[in-house]
Chains A and B, each alone.
Chain A
C-alpha cells in the first residue's frame, strides 16, 4: 500500500477537489452524476495529454510553452494534407502523421536547448510565436470544417454511452483510452526506466548528472521530442473530437496546463513531480473550467479562481516551510 503524505500537494489538491464537489452538489444537486463525471473525463483528455508532456519537461528542469503551437501546427497540417491529397487514410495513420510532425517540431526546441544550451523558456516562447505565425502565414488560416472521413469516424467511437435516470445523455469516447495509454507509458518511462531516472537526475542537478556520465543532451532531446509527439497526438485528438481543424485553436491554453501540472506538485525548478499529482491538477482545472457556469458563476471568474488556486495551492506549502524554518532558527 502506498503511504499517503498528508502534507503533499497531491493531498491538498485532492481535498480542494472534494470540497469543490461538495459545494457544487449542494448548490446544484444534479452535479454529482454520471454525466458530469463523463463530461469531466472527456474534457480532460487533451489537457491531460498536454499536462503529462509538461510534467516531463518540468521534471527535467525546463519549461515548455510551445506545445499548444506544436499541437495546432501538427493537427492543421495533417488534416490539410490528408484532405488536399484526397487520401483515405485510416485514422491510426492520420494520428501517426500528426505525432511525427509534433516530434519533428519538438526537435527544433531540442536543437536550441540541448544543442546551443539556451534557456528553455526563451526558446519555447520563440517557437510558440514562430510556429503559430508560420502556420497562419504559409499553411493556412482557413478553418477546415469537414475533416477527413476517418477522423469523423474516430469521433464516433465510444467506449460506453447511455442515458441516466434523469434523462441526461452521457458517453465516453475512445479518445480517452489514449490518455490512459499516455499515462501508463509515461509512468513506466519515469519510474521504471533508467532514461526516466536520467530525466529526474538532470532536473535535480544538471552538473552532477554530467559528472556521473549521464548523456544530458540526448536526454533533453528525448524530452522535447516526446513532448512534441504528445502535443501532436493531443492536437489531432482535439480536431477529431471537434470534427474541425481550426488554426486559431488551442494556443492560449498553455498556462492552464502548466498551472495544472504545478498545482499537482511539479516544481518549476525541476526534479520533482508525479503523474498522480498532475492528473489531480488536471481534474481540478477542468472542473473549474467547466463547472463554474453550471453553478451560475460567470465564465470570466474562471481565471480568477484558477489564479487563486495556484497562489494558495503552491504558495501555502512554501509559506509553511518558510515559517517552520524561521521558527527553527
Chain B
C-alpha cells in the first residue's frame, strides 16, 4: 500500500492506468448482467433483442408524439424532443414542481447496423417503442463446411 502510494506520487500515470483498468473491468461486469442502473442521460432506455433486431423502449410521459424526433443512421439511434411546461395563467402559482421540462436529445449506439427504412415506432400511454430491424448485410452468415 505504502509502496503504491509512493509510486503513484512519482508517477501519476501508473495510478491512472490502474484505475482505468479497474473501471473497465467494473463496466464489463455490469454489461454482462441485466439489472437496473442509473441512466446516464434522459430518457432512460431499455433494450430488447433477438437475432433479427432490437426494440428500444423509453418512458416519455407528457410528451406529445409530434414533439418527438427519431432518427437512425447506421447503428445509431437518436431520440430527441421536448416537454412543454404547463401554461400557467397569471395569478396561478405552483405548490409543487417535480416534473422536468425542456428539450432533450439522446444518441444510442446499437451493436448492429439498422435497416433504417424498416424502423417503426409507436407511442402509447407515454411509452415509446422503437423497433429496429437488423440490416440484412449485417446478419451473421452460416458457412457450410465442404468436405474436400
Do A and B associate with each other? Answer: no
Instruction: Name A residues whose Cβ lies closer than 8 Å to a Cβ of B.
Output: none
